Structure 1
Amino acid sequence: MGAYVIDSVLFRDQFGTEAMRRIFSDENTVQRWLDVEAALAKVQGEMGIIPAAAAAEIQRRSQVRNIDLPALKAEMDRTAHPIVPLLRAMKQVCEGDAGEYIHWGATTQDIMDTGTILQVREALDEIDASYRKLFENVCALAARYRDQVMVGRSHGQHALPITFGFKAAGWAEELRRNAQRLRQMRERVLVGQFSGAVGTLAALGEAGMAVQQRLFEELGLGCPAITWHTSRDNVAELISVLAIACGTAGKIAHEVFSLQKTETAELEEPFALGKVGSSTMPHKRNPPVCEGVIAVNRLVRATVPLAIEGIVADHERDKVVLQAEREYIGRVFAMTHAAIQKMVFVTGGLSVRTQNMERNLYAQNGLLMSEAVMMGLSEALGRQEAHEIVYGICMDVFENGGSLKDALMRHPDVSARLSEAQIDRMLAPHGYVGHAGAFVDQVLANPLD
């Protein structure tokens, strides 16, 4: 049992994924630190800054399997430092004096920040792949149900007819924008950190900036114009964009959750026999996957202020900010990926209850179509007068029952201007979905870049 849900054997898959646990594991964290040290040694060996033989030995030994992690942890506790114990461990495993040349001109935060960015790159690749699958699933729903009429709701109340394809296309377009945000953000976030103790690269003399440039070419990362040791706006952007992406997954989950309520019953997350809704009520078919996604979305969203607060950092180094990042970066990735993956599952097997969508169109005995009637009367009476008349009729039906058609037929100002056939056409929900289908087509015409 883990102390936190992401690591819990019982609950971890509700709050994370195996891919994210691997990327942000201790093993991969140390490996990414070693990757940076190895790349630095390689570049400096090629430039003649350190002996070529030492550089080759550092590269050869920079594998996490060569590091005793429990011993490393014990030394980290003793020294209150994360990288010095790693350097000492590497000195022990490197032959000759090669270990004396590791970390040449670097500072601890250079290695840790760049290692984190390498992990972030891995994690963003996983997010991108899952997001594309979610987009594909939602587009498939939009295409399949392009013309399936359902109730459109505003303020939680019946408003006007839409189609389920139109709703799903709205989800798809939001996912598209988020995919663009994730892609555009990479240029600003996937930038390395190598600038020495206070960011000036003083330890490397005139070679400093050339080493920096070649190091990040070796690692495939962007090279910063200046150190970002205490410029954490990139991390704030990363967490904010992940929260937005997770938010859309939460929004879709909330819609499914809402439309699965017994009184509505238009959608249902995938169900298989054996899935239990209650320990005491055998009839329950709850939406636990969607509920979990909504909960995870809240946790991710709540981290955004913490990331933005980190922008205000102290002078040239601020470990308080770094310690906070160490806690939440992996967590936010884990939860965001879990939410997206779960919604891939939900949208891939979503049960769409078309018969209930049709039924609910008539739940208010015609009141859903009040706008169509009002617009029809407006041609003869003017819009405001028509609104007043239809409003009075609708409120009477709402309070006293009956159907909107019968009430319209009884009203002299309406019956004098509209025939029964005209009223029937106005009250037909399938004929009042506007350009819903065309909007779906517009969304589906643009593949995800």
Structure 2
Amino acid sequence: MINRYSVSDISKIWSDENKYKTWLNVEVAICEAWNKLNIVPNDDLISIQSRASVDLVRMREIELETKHDVVAFTRMLSEIIGKEAKWIHLGITSTDVVDTAQNIMIKKSNQIVLNELLNFQKTLKQLALENEKTLIMGRTHGMYGEPTSLGLKFALWFDEIANQIERYKLASQQIEVAKVSGSMGNYANLELEIEEYVAQKFSLNLNNISTQVTQRDRHAFLVSVIANIASTLEKIATEIRLFQRSDVNEICEGFSAGQKGSSSMPHKKNPISSENISGLARYIRSYVGMTFENNNLWHERDISHSSNERIMFPDIFNTLVYSIRRMNDTLINLHINREEIQNHINEANNIYFSQRVLTFVLMKKQTVSREEIYDLIQECTAQCFATKTDFKEVLKNNNINKFLTNKELDDLFDVQFFLRQTHKIFTKVFKIKSDK
């Protein structure tokens, strides 16, 4: 991961120093499990626990000869520990250490992601509650529809993030497993109690069954959920970008003192954070296909997955956490242009009441056909667009009175009508108590 998008707490988890320290912790834990089975003597275990450490320089020197990082790792430990190192790597294979250690690092990364998502949810909830009564012109197909609550937009994103959190917890549960089942996954050279001890020590779940590796359907599921989260972030980013367009200008990213929008045009204020997040979402999604291909390994195991996972997991976790944090900051500093929002509602000349008039007439007049009243209202909307005349006045000029009294018509044109169910929706989304 390039420094521009790296996140310090994620980068520390996936650093070489921490990775090999985690390998060491797994190796020592396996020795402890053997000790409990009365195979590794107490004194030898104490020596291993007290002496074992990682010398990265020496390990890399050995790897130049062995061309095998785990063999280089165990030989480095033998040099440091001495004769008691005979118990290191007893009965296990490389991926017992590598997969378990990687899943430990994934578990730590997952907790950071979940914390960031929960923090992001708080921001969305606050924005939703603050804007529950804020009317904004709703749009479908990019065209004016009817006014709606701006708060509903944030509530929708809150609810979607809640769904993502639920998916992420399930994916986390499935991938956070210990894998200490030996070379063929049949525990031939060790006992099932070894894996159980390691799982308990690192608060991991257990594989029911494995080959030499943890099956990569678990990784594919996690990365798919991460890509889904990225799609939600991009959805939000796209909405901000659309709202920030010069001809809309309703919701914009904050623009700090000294910030520049263009190298050549000083007047520009571009939605750079949202564009950045959109681009990174594409990058995250590019890993999905790879993870599904990684599930297809030869016989009990090959290492075609290993090389890309070394790159993928540090990158995808850094990118995801960076994107969540940046989107959260963007929303915290969001500028809501309430004056322009109201201008767009006003310039629609009340045409957005067309459905309400249609529905009311159909409910009141039992003999009128939908086609008759629909065509009349559509003709009136066309006149409204052409003449830029208020929709209610156009209706009055086109014999709407044969369906509605003037009072009924006036009563229909209440813009607060479009907010009448908002609180009920909020009650469902946020589980808040209803006023009733």
Fold-level match, TM-score > 0.5?
A: yes
Q: 1:48 aligns with which of 32, 38, 42?
A: 38
Q: 1:350 aligns with which of 334, 339, 343?
A: 334
Q: How does 1:48-447 map to 2 (within 5 A)?
A: 48-63=38-53, 66-67=54-55, 69-94=56-81, 96-204=82-190, 208-228=191-211, 229=213, 231-378=215-362, 379-380=364-365, 381-399=368-386, 401-412=388-399, 414-445=400-431
> Taking structure 1 as reference, are residues 104 and 389 closer, same or farther at Cα in structure 2, changes over 3 Å only?
same
Provide the C-alpha distance between the structure 1 equivalents of 2:234 and 2:240, rounded to a whole number of angstroms: 10
Query: What is the deviation of 1:325?
Result: 2.2
Equivalent residue letter for 1:342: R
Aligned-pair distance for 1:377? 2.9
Identity of aligned residues (%): 24
> How far did 1:24 drift?
1.0
What does residue 2 of structure 2 align with? 7
CA contact (8 A) 1:195 1:201 kept: yes
Would the alpha carbon gap of residues 114 and 291 (structure 1) be closer, same or farther in structure 2, given more than 3 Å must change? same
Distance 1:83 1:145 in 2: 56
The 8 Å contact of residues 256 and 269 in structure 1, kept in 2 or not, is answered as: yes
TM-score (norm 2): 0.93
CA RMSD of aligned residues (A): 2.0
Give the Cα–Cα distance (whole angstroms) in 2 for the partners of residues 374 and 183 of structure 1.
46
On the 8 A contact 2:33/2:193 being kept in 1, the answer is no
Aligned AA for 1:31?
K
2:313 aligned partner, one-letter code: I
**Which amino acid is 2:42 matched to?**
A
Q: Distance in 1 between matches of 2:220 and 2:432?
A: 30
Residue 309 of structure 2 aligns to a residue whose secondary structure is: helix
1:16 aligned residue (6, 30, 37)? 6
SS of the counterpart of 2:260? coil
Q: Is the 8 A contact 2:136 2:342 kept in 1?
A: yes
TM superposition shift of 1:322:
2.4
Q: Could you tell me how far apart the structure 2 residues matched to 1:434 and 1:309 are?
A: 50
8 Å contact kept, 1:230–1:311:
no
Contact kept in structure 2, 1:134 and 1:347, CA below 8 Å: no
Q: 1:446, 1:36 → 2: CA distance?
A: 46
Give TM-score, length-normalised by structure 1: 0.90
Distance 1:265 1:49, change over 3 A: same
Distance 1:16 1:369, change over 3 A: farther
For the residue of structure 2 that corresponds to 1:100, the secondary structure is helix
**Structure-2 residue corresponding to 1:3:** none
CA distance in 2, matches of 1:421, 1:85: 87
**Partner SS state of residue 202, structure 1:** coil
Superposition deviation, residue 420 in structure 1:
4.4
CA gap of 1:141–1:62, structure 2 versus 1, over 3 A, is farther
- CA apart distance, 1:139: 0.4
Q: Which amino acid in the other structure matches residue 228 of structure 2?
A: I
Contact 2:223–2:291 under 8 Å retained in 1: yes
Change (3 A) 1:155 1:114: same
Q: Encode CA deviations 1:116-174: one digit per residue, 9 max, x unaligned.
A: 10101110111111111100110011111111111111111111111011111111111
Distance 1:36 1:171 in 2: 40
* Offset from partner CA, 1:365-412 (integer Å, 9 cap, x none): 222222112223323333332222212222343355433233222212
Equivalence for 1:32: 22
Q: 2:131–2:149: 8 Å Cα contact kept in structure 1?
A: yes
Identify if the C-alpha distance between structure 1 residues 391 and 213 changes in structure 2 by more than 3 Å, giving closer, same or farther. Answer: same
Range 120-129 or range 302-311, more displaced:
302-311
Change (3 A) 1:372 1:16: farther
Letter in 2 for 1:264: V
Answer yes or no: is the 8 Å Cα contact 1:250–1:339 preserved in 2: no
Deviation at 1:251, TM superposition (A): 1.7
Alignment length (residue pairs): 429
Which runs of no fewer than 5 residues in structure 2 stay unpaired? none
Report how far residue 62 of structure 1 moved: 3.8
